[in-house]
Copies of this chain bind each other. A is one copy, B any other.
Amino acid sequence: MNIRRLIEIHAYRGIRHRRNLPVRGQRTHTNARTRGDQASVLPTDSQKNTCFAMAKEKGVGEIEDYAMDLARHFVTGIGPVSAARVEVDEYQWERVSVAGEQHPHAFARASGEIRTTAVTVAGGEGAGGEPALRAWVVSGLKDLVLLKSTGSEFAGFLKDRYTTLAETDDRILATSLIARWRYQTWPPPPGWDEAYAQIRQILLERFATVHSRALQQTLWEMGRAVLEARDDVAEVRLSAPNRHHFLADLAPFGLDNPGEVFFAADRPYGLIQCAVLRDDAADPGPAWDSATAFA
């Protein structure tokens, strides 16, 4: 068996069951919650089985297609389901090289970086009242650890009574990037994989080449560059903890330290976030809802 890609599914549980009809104008809730009646509830276990069976029946090519197939299945195939959200994570593997050749069935994990998608599908009505599906696609990546050893400054900032931070014109800039982008049309030409590769490369190149005056500005430039390059992307969201690297103070030992020895601090840190939205972006609808963001 020669696998093309390995996909690990983390959050498959995102179907929303239709509410009961309102009775006497009151706000109603599903019987499942209020009376424990499960007759309209598709068990988690069945959803899991569906993920496996669909992988076999349709195959798993690009994760966006797989997620879309699953979400559509739940909405169109299971009566009480009005909407579904499927999130898929893809881990990166590379073939083991043996005597300079790629091995046919041995793999090593390539990177901690994870490719993601979140597809939401909801039932509804078309212009003529006929049943119609609406869908939203947010793709992205997470756990991409980036570092610039120079080309980063932080100066000219607001000083208040509690400011002790020294201004610097040369620091290490490091983060573990989460990036997500919302497509407003799809499939992206020439395909999901190519779009992913292009956007990832744009993010990396902007991170590398923008002289950073602050992480905020770097993120802005990264997101803007994606919108400029791709009309089919409505919005980019970037979330990046500032992984501080402080210069070790070697002066007590009679040593200077011109940007050579740093220590990485874990806490506290700043979490910088940036959303870059096209002026004429399509409405996001439920695209950004997510299981982990609920509570």
The chain A residues found within 8 Å of chain B, CB to CB, are 1-3, 6, 8-9, 11-13, 27, 29-30, 32-50, 52-53, 55-57, 77-78, 80, 93, 96-99, 103, 105-113, 140, 144-151, 154-165, 170, 178-180, 204-205, 207-209, 212-214, 216-217, 219-220, 237-239, 242, 248, 250, 252-253, 255, 257, 259-261, 263-271, 273-275, 279, 290-295
- Residue among A38, A97, A148, A279 with most chain B CB within 10 A: A38
Q: Is the CB of A255 within 8 A of B53?
A: yes
Q: Please, how many angstroms separate the alpha-carbon atoms of A205 and B250 in the complex?
A: 41
Q: Known contacts A111-B111, A150-B1, A292-B293; is A53 also within 8 Å of B250 by CB?
A: yes
Q: Please, how many angstroms separate the alpha-carbon atoms of A55 and B237 in the complex?
A: 34
Smallest Cβ distance from A167 to chain B, in angstroms?
9
Q: Is the CB of B43 within 8 A of A154?
A: yes
Smallest Cβ distance from A105 to chain B, in angstroms?
5
Smallest Cβ distance from A269 to chain B, in angstroms?
7
Picked from B52, B146, B219, B291, the residue with its CB within 8 Å of the CB of A263 is: B52
Q: Known contacts A38-B157, A163-B43; is A149 also within 8 Å of B242 by CB?
A: no
Q: Please, how many angstroms separate the alpha-carbon atoms of A27 and B248 in the complex?
A: 42
Given contacts A43-B157, A49-B253, 17 further A-B contacts (CB under 8 A): A9-B268, A30-B216, A32-B214, A35-B213, A44-B242, A44-B268, A46-B165, A50-B162, A53-B162, A56-B248, A96-B146, A106-B209, A109-B147, A110-B111, A140-B295, A161-B253, A237-B295
Residues of B within 8 A of A269 (CB): 44
Residues of B within 8 A of A179 (CB): 295
Q: Is the CB of B106 within 8 A of A40?
A: no
Protomer copies: 4
| Majority secondary structure of chain A interface residues (helix, strand, loop or mixed) | mixed
Smallest Cβ distance from A251 to chain B, in angstroms?
10
| Chain A to chain B contacts (Cβ below 8 Å), 16 pairs | A1-B259, A12-B268, A32-B214, A36-B217, A38-B155, A39-B157, A44-B270, A49-B253, A53-B162, A57-B255, A96-B146, A96-B204, A108-B204, A109-B146, A273-B294, A275-B294
Smallest Cβ distance from A162 to chain B, in angstroms?
4
Q: Please, how many angstroms separate the alpha-carbon atoms of A269 and B261 in the complex?
A: 18
A103 nearest in chain B by CB position: B208
Q: Is the CB of B146 within 8 A of A107?
A: yes
Q: Is the CB of A109 within 8 A of B107?
A: no
Q: Is the CB of A29 within 8 A of B163?
A: no
Residues of B within 8 A of A43 (CB): 154, 157-158, 163, 165
Q: Is the CB of B34 within 8 A of A150?
A: no
Q: Is the CB of B55 within 8 A of A261?
A: yes
Q: Please, how many angstroms separate the alpha-carbon atoms of A142 and B220 in the complex?
A: 33
A293 nearest in chain B by CB position: B293
- Residue among A34, A55, A105, A178 with most chain B CB within 10 A: A105
